[in-house]
């Protein structure tokens, strides 16, 4: 009975996503453009592959960001040192923190970043604090600043649909932003702000101990992977990186839903990335 229900929900969410990526036009009265045909074909292939996952992990080198899985033909090659946090970069008090709540309180008190002066409030995290999938966005927008919860605006609603398309909801993920205060007018956070808040992000990851991090958008992906390469170059791969502990954490960079709202044709790329996440889950590499 419940299996039947799951299948039904799953099919509905898949149909929903097909509509989102434009596959609904397969039944339009006008001829399909080649792009849509290709997207639909690739979508069906990916769905088939996702049922029989094949995640073969190459050997990893502890001091580098490694590519774990690839669907991106550009083969972006990121090679950076691991993120062992040097003591000089850490605000002293972070060392002793053992819970997410303590980290939240430390951020509430932190006055080393001027964004807190223009934002209405700190936006810390949402979803399930015990979830093993950690999604990291850029910074709160207007709605998030008002509500104090990440990804509640239009972009967040699209994100929920994207997650639903691979059978996930907010109870199966934990979501936060690299920058916890809204930058004025939603401007891109500056390199200085990113470096001021990096120690808190690293501590957040250390406390969460996720099985996988999904980096949403260029700002988050570039900051986490410490690269200057753009998101369109680095997405399509799963990297792994150490964040101050012995265990490497896989990082899956993908397109930000706010960008997808402006460029809906790119939704198919985001879907490829989500299929990689789904394969990692089916392979048992990620608990949800
Ligand atoms: N964009 C983000 O990166 N984070 C949010 O919380 C909302 C929009």
What domains are there in the chain, each with its CATH number?
40-282 (3.40.470.10)
Task: Among 148, 153, 176, 220, say which to mutate for ligand 1: greatest number of ligand atoms within 8 Å of CB.
Answer: 153
Residue ranges around ligand 1 (CB below 6 Å):
137-141, 144, 150-151, 153, 155-156, 177, 258
Ligand 1 atom index nearest CA of 219: 3
pLDDT for res 79:
39
| pLDDT per position as a tens digit, 42-78 | 555 555 554 333 333 332 332 345 566 665 555 454 5
Q: How confident is the model at residue 5 (pLDDT cuts 50, 70, 90)?
A: low
Q: Which residue has the higher pLDDT, 283 or 27?
A: 283
Q: Is the per-residue pLDDT at 135 higher than 90?
A: yes
pLDDT for res 93:
79
Q: How far does the centroid of ligand 1 lie from the alpha carbon of residue 23, in Å?
A: 27
Q: How far does the centroid of ligand 1 lie from the alpha carbon of residue 179, in Å?
A: 9
Tell me 25's DSSP state: G
pTM: 0.76
Task: Among 120, 122, 124, 155, say which to mutate for ligand 1: greatest number of ligand atoms within 8 Å of CB.
Answer: 155
| pLDDT mean across residues, the chain | 81
- Triad 87, 61, 198: Cα angle to 5°: 30
pLDDT for res 74:
52
Q: How confident is the model at residue 271 (pLDDT cuts 50, 70, 90)?
A: very high
Q: How far does the centroid of ligand 1 lie from the alpha carbon of residue 144, in Å?
A: 7
Q: How far does the centroid of ligand 1 lie from the alpha carbon of residue 139, in Å?
A: 5
pLDDT for res 61:
30
Residue ranges with strand state E in 111-188: 125-127, 133-137, 174-177
Q: How far does the centroid of ligand 1 lie from the alpha carbon of residue 95, in Å?
A: 27
Close Cβ partners of 113 (under 8 Å, ≥ 6 residues apart): 181, 193, 196, 197
Q: How far does the centroid of ligand 1 lie from the alpha carbon of residue 155, in Å?
A: 7
Q: How confident is the model at residue 153 (pLDDT cuts 50, 70, 90)?
A: very high
Q: Is the per-residue pLDDT at 17 higher than 80?
A: no
Ligand 1 atom index nearest CA of 175: 6
Cα separation of 153 and 232, whole Å?
Answer: 24
pLDDT for res 16:
61
Please check whether residue 81 is in contact with residue 246, taking contact to mean a CB–CB distance below 8 angstroms.
no
Q: What is the mean pLDDT of residues 74-103?
A: 64
pLDDT for res 59:
29
Q: Is the per-residue pLDDT at 7 higher than 60?
A: yes
Q: What is the mean pLDDT of residues 248-252?
A: 96
Q: How far does the centroid of ligand 1 lie from the alpha carbon of residue 215, in Å?
A: 12
Task: Among 124, 127, 139, 153, say which to mutate for ligand 1: greatest number of ligand atoms within 8 Å of CB.
Answer: 139
Among 63-77, 120-134, 172-186, 226-240, the range scoring the smallest mean pLDDT is 63-77
Q: How far does the centroid of ligand 1 lie from the alpha carbon of residue 186, in Å?
A: 10
Task: Among 135, 136, 141, 182, say which to mutate for ligand 1: greatest number of ligand atoms within 8 Å of CB.
Answer: 141
Q: Is the per-residue pLDDT at 90 higher than 80?
A: no
Among 13-27, 118-132, 245-259, the range scoring the smallest mean pLDDT is 13-27
Please check whether residue 253 is in contact with residue 231, taking contact to mean a CB–CB distance below 8 angstroms.
yes
Q: Which residue has the higher pLDDT, 54 or 140?
A: 140
pLDDT for res 244:
87
Instruction: Tell me the β-bridge partners of 134.
Output: 174, 213
Cα separation of 224 and 202, whole Å?
Answer: 9
HSE of 152, CA atoms in CB hemisphere, 13 A: 15
Residue percentage of the chain with pLDDT more than 70? 68
Q: Which residue has the higher pLDDT, 52 or 176?
A: 176
């Amino acid at each position: 009975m419940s299996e039947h229900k799951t299948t039904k929900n799953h099919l509905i969410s898949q149909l929903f996503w097909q509509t989102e990526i434009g596959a609904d036009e397969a039944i339009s009265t006008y001829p399909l453009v080649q792009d849509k045909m290709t997207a639909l074909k690739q979508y069906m292939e990916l769905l088939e592959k996702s049922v029989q996952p094949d995640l073969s992990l190459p050997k990893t080198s502890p001091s580098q960001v490694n590519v774990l899985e690839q669907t991106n033909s550009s083969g972006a090659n990121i090679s950076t040192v691991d993120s062992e946090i040097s003591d000089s970069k850490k605000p002293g008090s972070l060392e002793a923190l053992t819970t997410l709540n303590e980290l939240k309180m430390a951020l509430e008190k932190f006055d080393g970043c001027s964004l807190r002066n223009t934002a209405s409030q700190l936006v810390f995290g949402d979803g399930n604090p015990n979830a093993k999938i950690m999604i990291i966005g850029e910074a709160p927008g207007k709605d998030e600043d008002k509500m104090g919860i990440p990804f509640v605006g239009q972009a967040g609603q699209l994100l929920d649909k994207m997650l639903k398309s691979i059978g996930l909801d907010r109870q199966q993920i934990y979501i936060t932003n690299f920058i916890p205060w809204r930058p004025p007018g939603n401007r891109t956070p500056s390199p200085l702000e990113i470096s001021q808040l990096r120690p808190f992000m690293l501590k957040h990851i250390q406390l969460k101990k996720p099985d996988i991090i999904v980096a949403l958008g260029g700002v988050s992906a570039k900051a986490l992977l410490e690269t200057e390469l753009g998101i369109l170059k680095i997405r399509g791969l799963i990297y792994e990186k150490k964040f101050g502990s012995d265990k490497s954490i896989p990082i899956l960079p993908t397109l930000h839903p706010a960008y997808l709202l402006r460029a809906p044709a790119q939704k198919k790329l985001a879907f490829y990335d989500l299929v990689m996440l789904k394969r990692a889950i089916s392979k048992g590499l990620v608990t949800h």
